[in-house]
Structure 1
Amino acid sequence: MQITRLFAVLLMVLEWTRPGLSSPLRPICDLRVLDHFIKEAWDAEAAMRACKDACSIATNFTVPLTRVDFDVWEAMNIEEKAQEVQSGLHVLNEAIGSLQASNQTDVLQSHVDASISNIASIRQVLRSVSIPEYVPPASGGEDEETQKVSSISELFQVHSNFLRGKVRHLLASAPVCKQGVS
């Protein structure tokens, strides 16, 4: 899995830095790329469910909401969808990143590191299809599109669900992807 992720990132970087080209990264519209990250998130979720006591931590995590009201989602413009997804990725990155400093098992640390790397790669995929990057709100207040979870297992479950839901729907609805570019 590590090799596949490394290969995907390497391809993106090579395409972006190809000599003689001043154009941005070619759009990555193939949902199989996202499916790879979803599978890794699901594997982390399954590992945390199995880990139970050895992977417990006494804290609450702020995570994005994962439910998608399709009527509301379809009424949103691409910038609103992008802001919601990028904000959610930011919240997930913060929550999962908070585990890096904790003294956890090698299994947990491996999934934490992979998840942080995957979120960065997903952001690169979204940039490749012209999805705007995350812009924190000026107010600095807590987003109403979040919830609290109290276990690492729930955190990774939300991570997996968020990728399968909102991130997948955003990538599938990106204008450049609807034009048949893959």
Structure 2
Amino acid sequence: MDGWMDGSGLTFFLLMLGFLTPALLLPPRPLCDQSVMDKYIQDASRVEREIEEMCRTSCNLPEPITVLDTKVNFPAWRAMDRSRQASEVWRGQSLLATAIGEVKRQTQPDIRRFLLQLEVIESYLRSIREILRGHNAQVDSQDLNSTPTLSIQTVQKLFNVYSSFLRGKVNLFVSRACQGSGT
């Protein structure tokens, strides 16, 4: 094809007709496919093992960083209302995103070698934000300050916290949200 009917021309034509616009304005759909969460969790566990191998000695961070405490008290979690759970997951992904940004800014060669794995985690954290939006999870700013945190000092612990976060609070939140939505 030549002219306006090549790929970009067709896209422009469809946009002009308004066929793509409604799809772009739709909110994200809730994720209730457990295989997607399982894939995230498997990938996180794989990367966590890789980091353990890479850091047989030590991969200390120059300064401690704050992340969400990923321990889950299951009876307390089940008793918690959905908005409080959502706030904890939002806070967790926010703290992890900030921590990863801090680690990525490090200039030490032993820290820089984790750049690819850190970028993968950043991508997954963006997906978690979309999952939360898809479930209409809102942040209650009052809950944010009471969310337990911990200070970590190694790259291994950062990846461990990320993996635990997915296996625990994120997975529990999405499972409960899906049960409540009937999907």
Q: Which runs of 5+ in 2 are unaligned?
A: 1-18
**SS of structure 2 residue aligned to 1:99:** helix
Aligned to 1:99: 103
| Deviation at residue 122 of structure 1 after TM alignment | 1.1
- 1:62 is aligned, of 47, 61, 66, to 66
Q: 1:168 aligns with which of 161, 168, 171?
A: 171
Cα deviation, 1:12-62, whole Å, max 9, x if unaligned, reads xxxxx9544554222211122122222222222112211125844322121
Question: How many angstroms does 1:146 deviate by?
Answer: 0.2
Cα pair 1:38 1:163 within 8 Å, conserved: yes
Q: Give the distance between the partners of 1:137 and 1:154, measured in 2 at CA.
A: 28
What's the secondary structure of 2:103's corresponding residue?
coil
In the TM superposition, 1:114-153 aligns within 5 A as: 114-132=120-138, 134=139, 145-153=148-156
Counterpart-to-counterpart distance in 1, 2:141 and 2:156: 27
Structure 1: distance between partners of 2:142 and 2:80: 18
| Structure 1: runs of 5 or more not aligned | 1-16
C-alpha distance in structure 2 between counterparts of 1:135 and 1:76, whole Å: 13
RMSD (CA atoms):
2.5
Deviations 1:126-161 (A, max 9, x none): 2112112x46559x9x65500111110011101100
Measured in 1, the distance between the counterparts of 2:43 and 2:125 equals: 11
User: Take 2:140 and 2:103, find their aligned partners in 1: how far apart are those partners?
Assistant: 24
Q: Which amino acid aligns with 1:94?
A: T
Deviation at 1:100, TM superposition (A): 1.4
8 Å CA contact 1:63–1:148 kept in 2: the answer is: yes
Identity %: 29
Give me the whole-angstrom Cα distance separating, in 1, the residues matched to 2:179 and 2:27. 15
C-alpha distance in structure 1 between counterparts of 2:155 and 2:91, whole Å: 20
Q: TM-score, normalised on structure 2?
A: 0.76
Counterparts of 1:14-25 in structure 2, within 5 Å, are 19-21=21-23, 23-25=26-28
CA-to-partner distance for each residue in 1:83-125, whole Å, 9 max, x for gaps?
0111111111111111111234664000011111110111101
Select which of 34, 40, 48 maps to 1:37.
40
Assess, with a 3 A threshold, how the Cα gap between structure 1 residues 100 and 55 changes in structure 2: closer, same or farther. Answer: same
Largest Rg, 1 or 2: 2
Return the alpha-carbon distance in structure 2 between the equivalents of residues 46 and 131 of structure 1.
Answer: 31
Q: How many residues align?
A: 161
TM-score, scaled to structure 1 = 0.77
| 1:87 counterpart = 2:124 | no
Task: Mark the CA change 1:80 to 1:137 in structure 2 (over 3 Å): closer, same or farther.
Answer: closer
Distance 2:154 2:68 in 1: 15
Bigger mean CA offset, 47-56 vs 86-95? 47-56
What amino acid sits opposite 1:125 in the alignment?
Answer: I
Query: Per the alignment, do residues 101 and 143 of structure 1 end up closer, same or farther by CA in structure 2, a change over 3 Å counting?
Result: farther
